[in-house]
């Protein structure tokens, strides 16, 4: 077999093992391989090991060689929760937040998500595409090779919702980063439905969900289950209706107010429950029992400035698999920097660096149903690899706020170099 790219002298965190999310103690057991050779053929990983490359693999003058001595090699990072495609920004809310005005109060007064809905509606396909592409380039630079992208800024205006998903679809084709699409029509109640939200739930279920499925616009269906947004009962209806059509549920659960979103995610068989800053003990028990991946977003906790963080240690103790993502969005977390979120996961959620790297690789893959072909450095998986200019994982998280990326490899090709 011909090798296109050979990484030598690597200190690698392979995450090799079962092709599934890790929980409990296993979340922190990552498996270092020192002095490793990693060989890539086409878009796949062909060999990983400590010995010299076995003879069945051929290396010639076309083979690109990377000497990774002194650097850290990991699977390409995965950002499993973003609101990538949107128009405009919300820096006008920054001052309000510093004055102590609540995120949900801004939303209730018609700002927040509604202001991004307006900006997204007014933006053309091209404008949304260019803006999202810029963000994807930034993410790639941070070592991210797969990104989940939610719609949700069209809400009542279905054409805008579709435009967002079409942009994500096009970017998945055009950009080296892979995109996984989530329909989030239930991100806020449109203003015209403010006094009859159940009618909007009917529209979502009867008109929007079938269209999304027929046109293959998304893999997942997400709901903002939150006080003043969608109730647990409304969320359940929307998630079960989507599931019946083949869209796996995801839930923005117990982000700000404890409504029972964690319990709901487990009940409807969600692939993931996101945020969980206010999750109940019962919610944690239920997520652990069903092995729903908890996608925690410490950048949002940090940016909300309320000194509340998701109870990650309790989740790990109870056996909930944890992923860490950016939540990149124009309101609660305007940052694409997953490496910063990794530091915050240690500093704010008290996760060990090993638990954190699991959370942005194999567990993040599991949160978007891609654990079979990515999230670890193993023979047969996609050749998506990040190389960081750090001697250790501890150093990477400790030296926070900067970009440690040296090289990013996607589908077996070098796509970013410092």
Where do contacts with ligand IZC occur on this chain (CB under 6 A)? 83, 112-113, 116, 224, 252, 255, 329-332
Residue sitting closest to ligand IZC (CB): 331
Residue closest to 377 by CA, chosen among 412, 405, 337: 412
Shortest distance (Å) from residue 234 CB to ligand IZC: 15
Burial class of residue 168, CB neighbours in 10 A (0-12, 13-18, 19+): buried
Comparing C-alpha atoms, which of 253, 181, 251, 185 is closest to residue 220?
181
CB of 73 to ligand IZC, least distance (A): 33
Q: Whose Cβ is closer to ligand IZC: residue 326's or residue 332's? A: 332
When CB distances are held under 5 to 8 angstroms depending on the partner's kind, the choice from Zn ion, ligand IZC, none that residue 113 binds is ligand IZC
112 binds, among ligand IZC, Zn ion, none (CB under 5 to 8 A by kind): ligand IZC
Contact 413, 9 (CB under 8 A): no
DSSP state of 106: H
Strand-pairing partners, residue 40, are 5, 45
218 binds, among ligand IZC, Zn ion, none (CB under 5 to 8 A by kind): none
User: Considering beta carbons, is residue 19 or 81 the nearer one to Zn ion?
Assistant: 81
Q: Taking CB under 5 A as the criterion, which residues in 295-334 touch Zn ion?
A: 327
Judge contact between 140 and 408, C-beta under 8 A.
yes
Looking at the Cβ atoms of 83 and 374, the one nearer to ligand IZC is 83
Q: Which two tokens stand for residue 374?
A: 């990515």
Tell me how far, at minimum, the Cβ of 303 lies from Zn ion, in Å.
Answer: 12
Number of residues near Zn ion (by CB under 5 A):
1
> In whole angstroms, how close is the CB of 87 to ligand IZC at the nearest point?
11
Torsion sign over Cα 380, 385, 387, 388: negative
Residue among 3 and 188 whose Cβ is closer to ligand IZC? 188
CB of 289 to ligand IZC, least distance (A): 26
Match 């068989």 to its residue by tokens. Answer: 269
Pick between residue 182 and residue 329 the one whose CB is nearest to ligand IZC.
329
Q: Report in angstroms how near the CB of residue 109 gets to Zn ion at its nearest.
A: 20
346 binds, among Zn ion, ligand IZC, none (CB under 5 to 8 A by kind): none
Work out what residue 242 binds among Zn ion, ligand IZC, none; the CB cut-off runs from 5 to 8 Å by kind: none
User: Smallest distance, Å, CB 282 to ligand IZC?
Assistant: 23
> Least distance (Å) from Zn ion to the CB of residue 390?
29
Q: Whole-angstrom Cα distance, residue 158 to residue 176? A: 28
Out of Zn ion, ligand IZC, none, which partner does residue 332 contact, by CB within 5 to 8 A per kind? ligand IZC
Q: Tell me how far the alpha carbon of residue 252 is from its chain's centroid.
A: 13
Residue number with the shortest CB distance to Zn ion? 327
Partner touching 299 among Zn ion, ligand IZC, none, CB below 5 to 8 Å by kind? none
Q: How many CB atoms lie within 10 A of CB 73?
A: 25
Residues pairing with 45 in the sheet: 40
Closest Cα to residue 103, out of 208, 205, 207, 252?
252
Q: What is the DSSP string of 334-353?
A: ----HHHHHHHHHHHH---H
Output helix, strand, coil percentages for the chain, rounded to the nearest 5.
40, 20, 40
Tokens 């449109």 found at: 190
Per the DSSP assignment, residues forming a β-bridge with 73 are 12, 387
Q: Looking at beta carbons only, is 27 or 221 nearer to ligand IZC? A: 221
Considering the complex, what minimum distance in angstroms separates the CB of residue 269 from Zn ion? 20
Longest dimension (CA), the chain: 70
Question: Between residues 272 and 329, which has the closer beta carbon with respect to ligand IZC?
Answer: 329
- Binding region for Zn ion (CB under 5 A): 327
């Amino acid at each position: 077999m011909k090798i296109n790219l050979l990484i030598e002298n690597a200190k690698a965190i392979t995450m090799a093992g079962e092709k599934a999310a890790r929980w409990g103690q296993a979340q922190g057991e990552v498996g270092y391989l020192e002095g490793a050779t990693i060989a890539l053929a086409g878009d796949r990983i062909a060999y990983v090991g400590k010995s010299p490359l076995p003879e069945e693999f051929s290396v010639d003058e076309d083979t690109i060689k990377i000497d990774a001595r002194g650097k850290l090699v990991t699977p390409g990072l995965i950002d499993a929760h973003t609101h990538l495609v949107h128009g405009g920004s919300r820096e006008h809310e920054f001052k309000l937040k510093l004055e102590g005005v609540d995120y949900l109060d801004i939303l209730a007064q018609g700002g927040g998500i509604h202001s991004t809905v307006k900006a997204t509606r007014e933006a053309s396909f091209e404008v949304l595409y260019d803006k999202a592409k810029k963000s994807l380039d930034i993410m790639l630079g941070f070592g991210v090779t797969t990104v989940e992208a939610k719609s949700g800024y069209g809400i009542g205006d279905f054409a805008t919702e579709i435009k967002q998903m079409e942009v994500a679809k096009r970017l998945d084709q055009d950009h080296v980063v892979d995109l996984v699409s989530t329909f989030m029509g239930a991100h806020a109640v449109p203003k015209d439905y403010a006094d009859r939200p159940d009618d909007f739930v009917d529209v979502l279920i009867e008109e929007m969900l079938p269209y999304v499925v027929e046109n293959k616009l998304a893999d997942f269906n997400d709901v903002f289950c939150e006080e003043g947004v969608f109730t647990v009962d409304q969320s359940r209806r929307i998630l079960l209706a989507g599931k019946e059509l083949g869209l796996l549920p995801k839930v923005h659960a117990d982000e700000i107010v404890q409504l029972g979103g964690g319990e709901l995610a487990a009940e409807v068989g969600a692939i993931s429950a996101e945020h969980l800053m206010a999750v109940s003990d019962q919610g944690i028990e239920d997520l652990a029992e069903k092995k729903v991946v908890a996608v925690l977003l410490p950048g949002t906790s940090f940016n909300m400035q309320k000194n509340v963080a998701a109870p990650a240690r309790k989740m790990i103790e109870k056996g909930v698999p944890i992923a860490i993502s950016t939540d990149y969005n124009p309101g609660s977390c305007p940052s694409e920097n997953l490496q910063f979120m990794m530091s915050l996961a240690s500093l704010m959620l008290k996760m060990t660096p090993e638990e954190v790297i699991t959370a942005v690789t194999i567990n993040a893959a599991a949160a978007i149903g891609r654990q079979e072909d990515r999230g670890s450095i193993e023979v047969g998986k996609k050749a998506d690899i990040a190389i960081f200019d750090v001697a250790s994982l501890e150093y990477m998280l400790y030296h926070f706020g900067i970009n440690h990326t040296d090289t990013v490899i996607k589908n077996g090709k070098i796509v970013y170099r410092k």
